[in-house]
Structure 1
Amino acid sequence: MTVMTNTERLMDQPTRIQAIRRVVETVADNAAPLIDLWRPFVDGLEHLPRDGRFLLVGNHTQSGTEGFLIPYLVRREIGTLVRPLTDRRFGTMPGPAADLLAACGATVGSPESAGELMRHGQTILVFPGGGREIAKFKGEENTLRWQDRAGFARIAAEHDYPIVPAGLIGGDDVYRSLTSRDGLFGRFSQRIAKALGAPGDMAMPLLRGIGPTLIPRPQRMYLRFAEPIDTARPAGVSAPEWADTVKQRTQTSLEAVLADVQEIRAGDPYRELNPLAWRDAVQP
């Protein structure tokens, strides 16, 4: 059992983890001027419950920016540590890497760990699409790949935990996918993924950044927090039926956020971080 998988120590982490957390928080606080200079578009902070008792449900992007930007902005706004739920594979990471993730609030996602965090009123972050939502083939940018994953909705409903959808646009534009999932390279990549023991839907597409290189393309990030979704189950509705309803409401809300923010981005002269357009950047 590692620090990332020990449910009993979620609320009482080892001294070394607490020490690393203080360093991480100091670095984050000192980075505020740089993040403000980068000028991400941030909307909907008023929707965050002030008591910190809520579940953030977000979308993964190719850049991974959402993994640090959401926790950073939530902590800056309401002062709570966000507890991301990670893939179980992170539970096998070596000591230093696992310690750093734990210091940032992360733990391996499971019904047990999520339930324990909810019993203590923690701010939690989950990406239902998981790793399959990071690698995007051509035409999959800014979309959700949740399939039938409704575990987050079931656990939230069991604890009457509000859900706040958090949608990020821009992270899927740092690279351009050149191949479709059902194309020749896409099918080959899926076979390779399966041969290596990974799910086929986590195959890697063929990407390019600036020109023919893998240098990321400069992109402004756009993040919006939607209104909280009440998960309290009505009388007469079965638990499975209500979990499906909560999952669908969350997905619909998040997809609406992604669509709306893409429209905002389309009219923003600063969307590619052109310094000459910094003063004209679209604001909420």
Structure 2
Amino acid sequence: MASCLGVGVSLFGVSVQRSRNSWGVRVRSEGGASADSVSAVVNGASVVGEKEGSWSSIDKGNGWLKSKSSEKKIKLRDDVPQKLEPFWDDGYGTVTVKDYFAAAKDFTQHPDGGPPRWFCPVASGSPLKGSPILLFLPGMDGTGCGLIMHHKALGKAFEVRCLHIPVQDRTPFEGEPLKMATVDVESKLPPMQQFEKVSQNLTALLPYLSDLASIIPKDTLLWKLKLLKSAAAYANSRLHAVNAEVLVLASGKDNMVPSGDEAQRLRKSLQNCTVRYFKENGHTLLLEDGIGLMTVIKSTYKYRRSRKHDAVTDYLPPSLAEYNYAFTQVTGLFHFLTGSTMFSTLGDGTIVKGLSGVPNEGPVLLVGYHNLLGLELTPLVEGFLREKSIVVRGIAHPELFLGKLESESPEFSMIDWVKVFGAVPVTANNLYKLLSEKAHVLLYPGGAREALHYKGEEYKLFWPNQQEFVRMAARFGATIVPFGAVGEDDIAQLTLDYNDLMKIPVVSDYIREANQNSARVRDVDSGEVGNQNLFPPLLLPKIPGRFYYLFGKPIVTKGREEILKDKNSANQLYNQVKSEVEHSLAYLIKKRKEDPYRNFVDRTVYKAIYSSQHEVPAFDP
């Protein structure tokens, strides 16, 4: 099923909580504030409460909750969280499709007449301060429970509002001002034949058909099929005028509607549309395992708290579920094969195993050498999260964020995970913001030139002549930690580099055209570092060796104002950082020869004898 997300604004919402076949209701104000002055319990699934005449039903004209007592003041909570910490609980895995059917049945067991209405799930909790509002428009069932598996995660960053349409409601589409994005199901079949076809698909896809019968009675389904036709015609006639950001999720195994084709049509019809295609999922996409809606929203840069998305201020750290999935299902095999190990340097110059030598408090600027294709990145990011619960905010090439690398049916990719784990486009403004927020920032001065180096250039630095980062670090009193990472030559052999590929006629034309349209980071720079031609190198895998990291002695810039004023002082510090990176690389290249478990086979034997969870030793520093 193709799903569209939209964000709007409302003044109040209603929070609904299930308790012994009754529902607790409380008013919640904008911005995560809660009104504790009114509380009511009503029967069935109605989201209308009354207490001493101060409540009214949801207004029929626009669907928003209104109170008769306009003078009643809402007490704003002063404990609204400002930000999320890494490994926050998103609730994924604790709610299943069975909970959906249970909630939907509760909504439909008792007559709940009246117009469509909005409710706020209690499971969503209190979002961050200044969070936007997410409006969920239900599918054919109309219960508004379709996001039940995502309530907790979405509630951390959104004021979640779900629309509930009573089973007996017959409000015509023409009478509702709701702007709905809906799948176009144009068909010449009469409504009865449409109903029979949908019923057959529901029987095949959903295991609880007996429950569906009570959730969507036959006459209700027939009415909604008629409604759908007029709604689709209304929406299609206005798609060209929509300039808002739209995110479409399409299923690959949708046996009810052609989700993939519909997603492509929307992508071409809408001015600002992003598509993510889930080839292994069916029609009930948001009720199936493996789909974290909050993760998809974050990874496509659709989460924002102002008019324009900001990669720094709008960033939300990875949840525990995201961390576990990314580093087991996505990159787990790579981590197993490479068996990375990390060392750091204390203030007195002592090298120790682990990351204890890297300051916990920011701002910290990690400056190092970029391995081939950035192969060292995922173990580094995972290591900081696992050992220090710190998200390393990488400064990455802007080409990763422009969407040019996406196919016609883009699936959730490694580029999406890069954004989930904190990468931002390389700009002076983003570096400024990250340091001002006291973040741990990962910077590669050699950039794409190092990550896409040529044969024989392993572990050679290609840094610009300008002190690009030193003055910025000094301005915020950031601690600079130079580091080296080696292992690319133990993982694969570079067989065809840029020079080789440019000798192949068809391939050279493709590379030349791609670079003409690519984003440039250093167009005005002279020298080798400005030669950042993007190309796909051909690698020959080896029996995996190991990645080694050494984080050097921290360099404190706080109190060194002369760096800001004196160019020579800044240049000296710049050269010092560069020298420390080269020293770290040389140290690791030499010391890894002493590691008895440098080879993948040796590490595998060690784990088989001792424990698969036991960390494999390395050389003594």
Question: How far 1:83 moved relative to its partner?
Answer: 0.8
Q: Which runs of 5+ in 2 are unaligned?
A: 1-244, 246-299, 345-354, 517-529, 607-616
Q: Is residue 2:312 matched to residue 1:10?
A: yes
Supply the distance in 2 between the matched residues of 1:49 and 1:36 (Cα, whole angstroms). Answer: 27
Give the aligned residue type for 1:27: Y
Give the RMSD, CA atoms, in angstroms: 3.7
Alignment equivalent of 1:169, drawn from 470, 486, 497? 486
Quick one: structure 1 residues 162 and 281, their matched pair in 2 at CA, closer, same or farther if it must change by over 3 Å? Answer: closer
Q: Is 2:493–2:542's contact at 8 Å kept on the other side of the alignment?
A: no
Supply the distance in 1 between the matched residues of 2:319 and 2:483 (Cα, whole angstroms). Answer: 24
Quick one: structure 1 residues 139 and 112, their matched pair in 2 at CA, closer, same or farther if it must change by over 3 Å? Answer: same
Alignment equivalent of 1:106, drawn from 397, 419, 423? 423
Q: Is residue 2:599 matched to residue 1:282?
A: no
Cα shift readout 1:33-59 (whole Å, capped 9, x = no counterpart): 985885323111122102143011121
Give the aligned residue type for 1:86: A
Quick one: structure 1 residues 12 and 120, their matched pair in 2 at CA, closer, same or farther if it must change by over 3 Å? Answer: same
Partner of 2:393: helix, strand, or coil? strand
Supply the distance in 2 between the matched residues of 1:52 and 1:59 (Cα, whole angstroms). Answer: 21
Supply the distance in 2 between the matched residues of 1:180 and 1:81 (Cα, whole angstroms). Answer: 33
| Aligned residue in 2 for 1:260 | 587
| Aligned residue in 1 for 2:341 | 41
Give the aligned residue type for 2:593: A
Q: Is 2:546–2:600's contact at 8 Å kept on the other side of the alignment?
A: yes
Q: Is 1:28–1:72's contact at 8 Å kept on the other side of the alignment?
A: no
Cα shift readout 1:195-238 (whole Å, capped 9, x = no counterpart): 542675536597552xxxxx354121111111111224344873
Supply the distance in 1 between the matched residues of 2:568 and 2:548 (Cα, whole angstroms). Answer: 33
Question: How far 1:266 moved relative to its partner?
Answer: 2.4
Q: Is residue 2:450 matched to residue 1:124?
A: no
Give the aligned residue type for 2:463: W
Supply the distance in 2 between the matched residues of 1:79 and 1:129 (Cα, whole angstroms). Answer: 27
Q: Is 2:450–2:462's contact at 8 Å kept on the other side of the alignment?
A: yes
Supply the distance in 1 between the matched residues of 2:451 and 2:311 (Cα, whole angstroms). Answer: 29
Structure number with bigger Rg: 2
Q: Is residue 2:322 matched to residue 1:24?
A: yes
Q: Is 2:338–2:491's contact at 8 Å kept on the other side of the alignment?
A: no
Supply the distance in 2 between the matched residues of 1:91 and 1:40 (Cα, whole angstroms). Answer: 28
Higher helix share: 1
Partner of 1:282: helix, strand, or coil? coil
Q: Is 2:455–2:494's contact at 8 Å kept on the other side of the alignment?
A: yes
Deviates more, 1:37-46 or 1:223-232: 37-46
Supply the distance in 1 between the matched residues of 2:485 and 2:549 (Cα, whole angstroms). Answer: 4
Q: Which runs of 5+ in 1 are unaligned?
A: 210-214
Q: Is 2:491–2:543's contact at 8 Å kept on the other side of the alignment?
A: yes
Quick one: structure 1 residues 283 and 41, their matched pair in 2 at CA, closer, same or farther if it must change by over 3 Å? Answer: farther
Quick one: structure 1 residues 107 and 204, their matched pair in 2 at CA, closer, same or farther if it must change by over 3 Å? Answer: closer
Give the aligned residue type for 1:128: P
Map of 1:90-239 to 2, 5 A cutoff? 90-93=400-403, 99-148=416-465, 150-178=467-495, 185=500, 188=503, 193-194=511-512, 196-197=514-515, 200-202=531-533, 207-209=538-540, 215-232=541-558, 233-235=560-562, 238-239=565-566
Instruction: With a CA cutoff of 8 Å and minimum separation of 6, indicate the structure with the bigger relative contact order.
Output: 1
| Aligned residue in 2 for 1:212 | none
Q: Is residue 2:374 matched to residue 1:56?
A: no
Q: Is 2:396–2:425's contact at 8 Å kept on the other side of the alignment?
A: yes
Quick one: structure 1 residues 128 and 137, their matched pair in 2 at CA, closer, same or farther if it must change by over 3 Å? Answer: same
Partner of 2:441: helix, strand, or coil? strand
| Aligned residue in 1 for 2:73 | none
Supply the distance in 2 between the matched residues of 1:242 and 1:112 (Cα, whole angstroms). Answer: 23
Partner of 2:342: helix, strand, or coil? strand
Q: Is 2:564–2:570's contact at 8 Å kept on the other side of the alignment?
A: no
Supply the distance in 2 between the matched residues of 1:102 and 1:201 (Cα, whole angstroms). Answer: 22
Q: Is 2:392–2:439's contact at 8 Å kept on the other side of the alignment?
A: yes
Question: How far 1:108 moved relative to its partner?
Answer: 0.8
Matched-pair identity in % = 25
Quick one: structure 1 residues 239 and 113, their matched pair in 2 at CA, closer, same or farther if it must change by over 3 Å? Answer: farther
Supply the distance in 1 between the matched residues of 2:539 and 2:369 (Cα, whole angstroms). Answer: 21
Q: Is residue 2:380 matched to residue 1:70?
A: yes
Supply the distance in 1 between the matched residues of 2:555 and 2:383 (Cα, whole angstroms). Answer: 20
Deviates more, 1:92-101 or 1:68-77: 92-101
| Aligned residue in 1 for 2:568 | 241
Supply the distance in 2 between the matched residues of 1:186 and 1:36 (Cα, whole angstroms). Answer: 31
Quick one: structure 1 residues 40 and 99, their matched pair in 2 at CA, closer, same or farther if it must change by over 3 Å? Answer: closer
Supply the distance in 1 between the matched residues of 2:343 and 2:486 (Cα, whole angstroms). Answer: 12
Supply the distance in 1 between the matched residues of 2:501 and 2:531 (Cα, whole angstroms). Answer: 10
Quick one: structure 1 residues 186 and 259, their matched pair in 2 at CA, closer, same or farther if it must change by over 3 Å? Answer: farther
Question: How far 1:258 moved relative to its partner?
Answer: 0.1
Supply the distance in 1 between the matched residues of 2:539 and 2:492 (Cα, whole angstroms). Answer: 6
Cα shift readout 1:126-166 (whole Å, capped 9, x = no counterpart): 11111111123222111211132532223212211111112
Partner of 2:477: helix, strand, or coil? coil
Relative to the length of structure 1, the TM-score reads 0.78
| Aligned residue in 2 for 1:270 | 597
Q: Is 2:483–2:581's contact at 8 Å kept on the other side of the alignment?
A: yes
Relative to the length of structure 2, the TM-score reads 0.39
Partner of 1:46: helix, strand, or coil? coil
